[in-house]
Amino acid sequence: MKKVTKKVKTRHVVLSLVFLVLGYLIAFSYELTKGDQEKINFNSREWERSIQLRNQLNELEESNRKLQNDLFEKQGKLLDIEDSITDEQQIYSNLANEAEELRMHLGKVKVSGEGVIVTLNDGLYDPANGDINNFMVHEHHVFNVINELYISGAEAVAINGQRLTKNSYIVCNGPVISVDGNQFPAPFVISAIGNKDTLEKALNIQGGVKDQLVNDNIIFQLEKKDVIEMDPVLSTGT
């Protein structure tokens, strides 16, 4: 009887150990499974967060591209406007320059600059060589000088201080020349504002105006000037 009881106790001890080990294994397995599940849940949340952030990044990049395109478009429009303004400013500047040149040619403004002064005087009369008129300065002599000066780039011309305009007229009346109704005796001083070297070369060219005047017994003098001033024409009729 004691032997049977001893066997039962031994069996109980063994079973207890078995259940203890089994319980430990079950508990360990549960904890392990729980940790894996939490890890899976954690990784899943991180993945979803990563996708969400990536989508937000893509949206920001797309928004940035649109903003850049809008910026480029506005910059293009701004450049077009600036070019248009520049063109308009150039047009206004050209118009202003043309208006100033027109006022200058009309004699409406005072002008100054480099140029030349041409003096025409009657030749020394020799009765043995014919009519005295052949030794006098006539309007066509003055016209020849003035035309050559304008052709060579003269910006303003005056005769004995009388500023010429597009409506000016010159008439020879015996020993005097009338310029816009004002009479002047010889010598006739023709002032011209422009490139002094160009004007000088144009008048002194061989076979040109100077040689023609000398052949007509006219005394011709030419002087280059650094500064010549001309007052505006005051008369509204000229």
Question: What burial class does residue 166 get, using C-beta atoms within 10 Å of its C-beta: 0-12 exposed, 13-18 middle, 19+ buried?
Answer: exposed
Q: How far apart are CA 117 and CA 189, in angstroms?
A: 7
Q: How far apart are CA 174 and CA 157, in angstroms?
A: 23
Whole-model pTM: value is 0.57
Question: What burial class does residue 12 get, using C-beta atoms within 10 Å of its C-beta: 0-12 exposed, 13-18 middle, 19+ buried?
Answer: exposed
**Sign, CA torsion 65/70/75/80:** positive
More confident residue, 114 or 46: 114
Instruction: Give the pLDDT confidence of 30-42 residue by residue, as tens digits.
Output: 565 555 555 555 5
Residue whose token pair is 């001890």: 13
CA nearest to 115, candidates 193, 175, 181: 193
C-alpha separations of 187 from 125, 176, 200, 205, 212 in Å: 15, 9, 19, 23, 18
Instruction: Give the pLDDT confidence of 163-207 residue by residue, as tens digits.
Output: 998 888 888 887 889 898 899 999 999 999 999 999 999 999 999
More confident residue, 106 or 127: 127
Rg (CA), the chain: 55
Residue 23: band (very low, low, confident or very high) from pLDDT cuts 50, 70, 90: low
pLDDT surpasses 70 at 19: no
Instruction: Give the pLDDT confidence of 71-122 residue by residue, as tens digits.
Output: 778 777 877 787 778 777 777 677 766 666 666 666 667 889 999 999 999 8
Max Cα-Cα span within the chain: 193
Report pLDDT for 142: 93
pLDDT surpasses 70 at 125: yes
